[in-house]
């Protein structure tokens, strides 16, 4: 314990450590040195000055504890000078607590002695504290930055997902529009094709109908002119019947709207008498050829008269070709029509060659390339004197067997 405050120190020891052995030293520094060297286990310090004293680097290994019993402050004097001690104590009581505390703080500053090691340690502690604060700030900042980046990444992924969904919907809409456009284009093309087919059909059928109608009118006029000749009237009525039946077949064909819209002709094979078919064709065409002054000759070389064929289509083809031949052959010229049966490579079959030769205006090489195109006429229209109604001049390919 410290020597100058013997009475005070003794009271503290007795109050807090009643079984302790007291050792007296001259100064507080000697007391602390005894604790450092192990000569003493503890010492009592003024609570006001303890913090200042123990902040000295050489006392860094010591620790302090607040005692539960308070001790009045006093001045220390030389051993045995009790009269001076009593005098000082009374002076302290008169000076007051504030003055005593100020005086203690002022004189305790001298107890602290800074060393290079202490300063270095203080700086090291401060640097460590700053480093910890900086690391904590950096970690906090890094955490906030990572959180911001994660939020930005999440928002970017959400936007990309929404963009992908929008792109997918747009692609689906484009596919639907493209499919709808193709459907409309196909419907338009089909409507245009049907319209062209109807136009081509009407142009073609107008020419087909005109030939038997002209024959019917011509034979009716001829029968009326020869009313007194029953034989001639019967012949005219027979030919009118042939032309009427052919005309009826054409009209039935016109009423078949499926053929008109498809633009295709249906071939309907049936047993046909070629000789009877040729007599009907000759009966229809011969009157118009005779009235124009054109000589019509027909040569037939058949082994089999009855064949499987489409009578209406063969009649249409032959009447179209022969009526055009009559129309474009000048007066006094000749038209030669021949039919011949030829051997066929197919067993039970025959090939039939139909040939029409005339001395009309002919066809140029350029026109010959388009001979099978519907609604084409060979060269400029004929003179008004023998121009037929309408302007359809169809040529169709066929190989009847």
Q: Quick one: average pLDDT of 321-343?
A: 88
Listed by start position, the domains of the chain span 6-113
Residue 113, pLDDT score: 55
pLDDT higher than threshold 50 for residue 393: no
Contact (Cβ atoms closer than 8 angstroms) between residue 350 and residue 343: yes
Helices (H), 39-115: 47-54, 82-95, 97-108
| Poorest-pLDDT segment among 101-105, 172-176, 209-213, 301-305 | 101-105
Q: Are 364 and 376 in contact (CB under 8 A)?
A: no
Classify residue 80 as left (phi > 0), alpha (psi -120 to 50) or beta: left
> What is the rounded distance in angstroms from the CA atom of residue 51 to the CA atom of residue 57?
12
Secondary structure (DSSP) of 235-265? HHHHHHHHHHHHHHHHHHHHH-HHHHHHT-P
Q: What is the pLDDT of residue 123?
A: 78
Going by their DSSP bridges, the two strands 334-343 and 295-301 should be labelled as: parallel
> How many CA atoms, within 13 angstroms, populate the side-chain half-sphere of residue 300?
12
> Which band of pLDDT confidence, cut at 50, 70 and 90, is reported for residue 234?
confident
pLDDT tens per residue across span 119-152? 777 778 788 888 888 888 888 888 888 999 999 9
Length of the chain counted residue by residue: 401
What's the pLDDT at 392? 29
Q: Contact 334/294 with Cβ under 8 angstroms?
A: yes
325 sits in which H/E element: helix 311-328
CB contact at 8 A, 390 and 206: yes
Q: What is the pLDDT of residues 73-108, one digit of tens each?
A: 556 667 777 777 777 777 777 776 677 667 666 655
Higher-confidence residue of 10 and 274: namely: 274
Count Cβ neighbours within 10 Å for each residue of 38-60 and write b for 16 or more, e otherwise.
eebebbbbbeebeebbbebbebe
- 123 Cβ neighbours under 8 A, 6+ residues apart: none
Q: For residues 339 and 278, is the Cβ–Cβ distance under 8 A?
A: yes
Does the structure show a pLDDT above 80 at 115?
A: no
49 near 31, Cβ under 8 Å? Answer: no
Would you place residue 382 in the very low, low, confident or very high pLDDT band (cuts 50, 70, 90)?
Answer: very low
User: Are β-strands 334-343 and 270-273 bridged in parallel, bridged antiparallel, or unpaired?
Assistant: unpaired
Alpha carbon 393 to its chain's center: 52
**pLDDT tens digits for 239-256?**
787 777 777 777 776 665
Mean confidence (pLDDT) of the chain: 76
């Amino acid at each position: 314990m410290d020597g100058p405050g013997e009475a005070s120190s003794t009271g503290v020891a007795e109050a807090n450590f009643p079984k302790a052995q007291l050792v007296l030293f001259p100064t507080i520094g000697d007391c602390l040195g005894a604790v450092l060297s192990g000569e003493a286990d503890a010492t009592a310090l003024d609570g006001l000055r303890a913090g200042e004293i123990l902040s000295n680097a050489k006392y860094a290994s010591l620790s302090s504890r607040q005692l539960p019993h308070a001790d009045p402050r006093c001045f220390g004097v030389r051993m045995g000078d009790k009269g001076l001690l009593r005098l000082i104590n009374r002076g302290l009581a008169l000076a007051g607590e504030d003055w005593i505390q100020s005086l203690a703080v002022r004189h305790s500053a001298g107890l602290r002695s800074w060393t290079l090691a202490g300063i270095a340690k203080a700086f090291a502690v401060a640097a460590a504290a700053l480093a910890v604060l900086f690391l904590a700030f950096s970690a906090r900042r890094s955490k906030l930055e990572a959180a911001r980046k994660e939020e930005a990444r999440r928002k970017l992924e959400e936007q990309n997902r929404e963009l992908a969904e929008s792109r997918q919907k747009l692609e689906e809409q484009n596919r639907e529009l493209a499919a709808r456009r193709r459907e409309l284009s196909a419907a338009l093309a089909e409507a245009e094709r049907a319209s062209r087919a109807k136009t081509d059909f009407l142009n073609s059928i107008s020419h087909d109908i005109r030939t038997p109608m002209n024959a019917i009118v011509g034979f009716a006029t001829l029968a009326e002119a020869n009313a007194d000749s029953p034989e001639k009237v019967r012949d005219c009525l027979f030919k009118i019947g042939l032309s009427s039946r052919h005309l009826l077949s054409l009209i039935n064909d016109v009423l078949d709207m499926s053929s008109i819209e498809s633009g295709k002709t249906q071939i309907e094979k049936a047993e046909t008498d070629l000789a009877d078919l040729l007599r009907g064709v000759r009966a229809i065409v011969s009157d118009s050829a005779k009235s124009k002054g054109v000589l019509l000759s027909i040569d037939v070389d058949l082994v089999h008269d009855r064949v499987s064929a489409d009578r209406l289509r063969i009649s249409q083809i032959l009447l179209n070709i022969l009526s055009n031949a009559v129309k474009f052959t000048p007066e006094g010229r000749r038209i030669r029509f021949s039919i011949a049966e030829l051997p066929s490579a197919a067993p039970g079959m025959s090939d039939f060659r139909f040939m029409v030769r005339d001395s009309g205006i002919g066809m140029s090489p350029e026109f010959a390339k388009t001979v099978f195109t519907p609604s084409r006429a060979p060269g400029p229209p004929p003179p008004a004197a023998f121009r037929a109604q309408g302007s359809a001049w169809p040529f169709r390919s066929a190989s009847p067997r």
